[in-house]
Chains A and B, each alone.
Chain A
Amino acid sequence: MKKSMNISGGQMYWTLFAFEVGNTLLLTMTSAIREGKQDAWMAMGVAGGGGILIALIATRLSVMYPNQTVIEYSRTILGTWPGKVIVIPFLLQWYVDIGVIMRDFGDFIITALFHNTPIWGVVLLTLLVVVYLVIQGGPEGIGRCSEVIGPVILLMIVVLIALDFGNIEWRELFPVYVDSGWRAIAKGSTMPLSFFGESMMILMLTAFLKNPQTQAMKAVWGVATATALACLATIAVIATFGAELSSRMWYPFFSLTRFISIMEFIQNVDSIFVIVWFTSMFIKLSVYVFVASYGTAQWLNIQNWRKVLWVVAPFGFITALSIKNVQVDVPQYYMRMYWIPFVLPINMIGIPLLLLIIGLLRSRTSPSRR
């Protein structure tokens, strides 16, 4: 089954790029600016660096077992039962986060474009497209989709930042470092890091590469590109609105695109950003839905992973609709009590690192295992 679903290095690059960039731009900037003030771009950079590091760990680990996903090689490394137990946090994260991503997505679309459309309409339609892509294409479909969408996203973000150039006041970026200090920068970077850290999806995706040994590093470059854009966008936001004002906006980069006006002629380009975000979220959701379905199938030894999709998708739908208020509840409860204290240190850093260390030790003691 797996052999029929191959992705190339380029597709991997664009998948990871599209996967990371949209959400980070929209949702993490406020918290970075709140802590890091005008040095929030450094916090973004630090977070991106952390994300790259996590991607490197995940890549290094996956390349050791080129044809297996993390669900499989965790068993190879730790033995059947410990291996099964250690990936439970992953499964939990995937299942829960599908709903949260979808709700974030739906709420933003409603806030930005369609005020009267019911949330379930937006969520359901999106989910149907995602399910279609995942059923039909699997990772190959996601990869090909990203290959088309990714460059468009990249171009649009660069264009948006370029269009904002006339509104920029460089002095808003000064003084550098003194107002924040490393503590504030580190604090500001936790939220973006918890988004960049989702690059640990590489653990599941590398197995589908045609040639993992040579192509796996492309994923890391995808994260790096997303980091560079997030830094640039943060600089643009702070230079346009100042640290104080932008730290009070939910979606500062979105506000920035709404503020663009060139000669009273190029205006209302915020719809471009909505497209950027929509497509980026689409890739992200697809990856999540695929990984959750495929992972569950492997975990429970179900032969046809597509059947699991019919559990994953409704579950995500219900989760998305059961959140009361995504702007307040998600940061207050989900992010603060689950995502940052548990997912970030355990799922993104702890487990991959643990597996890597044990895997390395094992391969050293008994090279024949590989």
Chain B
Amino acid sequence: MKRRRSIGLIVLISLLFATGCWDRAELDDLALILGWGVDQSEDKTYVASAQIAIPSKLSTQSGGGSGQGFFVLTASGKSSLDATKNIQRKSSRKIYAGHRRVVCIGETLAKNGLSDVLDEFTRNPDVRLRTDIFVVKGNSAQELLQNPYPLENIPALAALREHRAVGGIGDSTLRDYLMDEAKGHSTTLPVIQLSSLASSQGDESQDGGQNAGGPLGLEFGGRAIIDPHSKLVGFLDYDEAQNAVWVKGTLRHFMLTTRVPKEDGNINLDVSRTRSKVIPTLQHGKVYIEVRLSGFGIIRENTTPMDLSQVENVDRAQEACDTTVEQAAKHVIVKLQKDYGLDIFGFGEAIHRKYPQQWKAMKNDWDKQFSNAVVTVNANLTIRRVGLTGPPLQLPRSEIQE
């Protein structure tokens, strides 16, 4: 009887807590941040911009669209989160960063070092590590976020999708960045920039093609080189970036256009399953690094007169591709060795794994030794398919080279 009474009491007390939850957060009460930008102004204050989804606009999208589905709030503060506090002052709903997918870092801030703004990403339990992080080239992150993008309701997501479409790793960028920086290595971040949707690359002037006319959109602009102190030190253009990422081993696929020697025209190869193997050798105190790149390709375009139903022509095409890849990869490695002296390829880690004992002595001045390392690149692409035609259909038989 007594026990029963005590249990009854427990049940009664429990009821007190069943009236509701403390952490009730309806979707209607939240302002969901999907894109986030941080800039640094000249007096070192941080300017944060939040690209926030407008739920009503998103849901009426099928009914013929009624204006843009996002708006941008901007405020400044002593730190990234201090600025968030000031953004909250402008927002009727509670700012919620749990769905933040894309973070854009202004160029000035990146040059001053972006470690200050990253702490929150791993400390705040609302925020997920799965975030894509970009360096904004040319403009401020705020300007970039304010610009609409025709295909995406939330323009920031366009950056993420472009990053994926060009064969990048997408939203595990932040993790990879933190892993490299935590080890004390240099690394790269993808670059996003505003550019005219209508004009071609050739028309672009110095300011990223903004004066070329037409609506502006987001353009994937290669990668930014970040030194071990998380400061931006330079940029790689798109082709250099793709090759650098391939050497590092995180590229998924890419398009290669190359000239075939002694032919008039180009071969375009769609390369997937890109792999990289880094084989370091230490000999007489010198570092030798062999990079083996491989991948499987499909020929998408052939403007040479070669008949690709012939084995030797395919072999020539493959050879031409291998040479191009080797040269391009070598070029970017040498550029990093000579111009920056920063190992962004993970060569240091490869040595660490193969020569763990020697690495202990090397790791402190690795970047210096990296500059003096002898690097060879071997590419070995396999052409798996040549498309639906062997010889080019548009040429008369007499011009086709068998």
Contacts and interface: CB of A to CB of B under 8 A. Distances in A.
Interface of A: 111-118, 121, 124-125, 128, 131-132, 135-136, 167, 171, 174-175, 178-179, 240-242, 244-245, 248-249, 255, 258-259, 261, 267, 306
Interface string B147-171: 0000000000000000000000001
Nearest to A248: B182
A306 B4 CA distance: 13
A121 B122 CA distance: 27
Nearest to B128: A258
B14 interface: yes
B10 A241 contact: no
Contacts of B7: 132, 135-136
B178 A179 contact: no
Contacts of B22: 114, 116-118, 121
A131 to B, nearest CB: 7
Contacts, number: 71
B374 interface: no
B389 interface: no
B61 interface: no
A240 B126 CA distance: 20
A178 B359 CA distance: 11
16 contacts: A115-B23, A117-B21, A128-B14, A135-B3, A136-B7, A171-B353, A178-B356, A178-B357, A240-B175, A241-B179, A242-B179, A244-B183, A245-B179, A258-B128, A258-B129, A267-B130
B133 to A, nearest CB: 15
Contact of A125 (B17, B23, B179): B17
Contacts of B21: 114, 117
Contacts of A242: 179, 182-183
Contacts of B357: 178
Contacts of A245: 175, 178-179, 182
A331 B200 CA distance: 59
B128 A259 contact: yes
Contacts of B126: 115
A111 B357 CA distance: 41
Given A175-B352, A179-B356, A241-B179, A261 B23 contact: no
B349 interface: yes
B349 A244 contact: no
B285 interface: no
A179 B23 CA distance: 45
B91 interface: no
Interface in B250-278: none
Contacts of A267: 130
B41 interface: no
A117 B17 CA distance: 11
B182 A244 contact: yes
A279 to B, nearest CB: 18
Given A121-B22, A178-B356, A259 B125 contact: no
A132 B7 CA distance: 7
Contacts of B13: 128
B23 A174 contact: no
Closest 9 CB pairs of A and B: A178-B356, A175-B356, A117-B22, A244-B182, A114-B23, A174-B353, A242-B179, A245-B182, A116-B22
A104 B172 CA distance: 30
Contacts of A131: 10
B6 interface: yes
Interface in B319-369: 349, 352-354, 356-357
Contacts of A241: 175, 179
B200 to A, nearest CB: 32
Q: Which of B3, B14, B22, B178 has the most CB of A within 10 A?
A: B22
A114 B354 CA distance: 46
B236 to A, nearest CB: 23
A348 B357 CA distance: 37
A131 B130 CA distance: 40
B277 to A, nearest CB: 11
A121 B17 contact: yes
Contacts of A136: 7
Interface string B176-195: 00110011000000000000
A255 B14 CA distance: 32
A240 B175 CA distance: 9
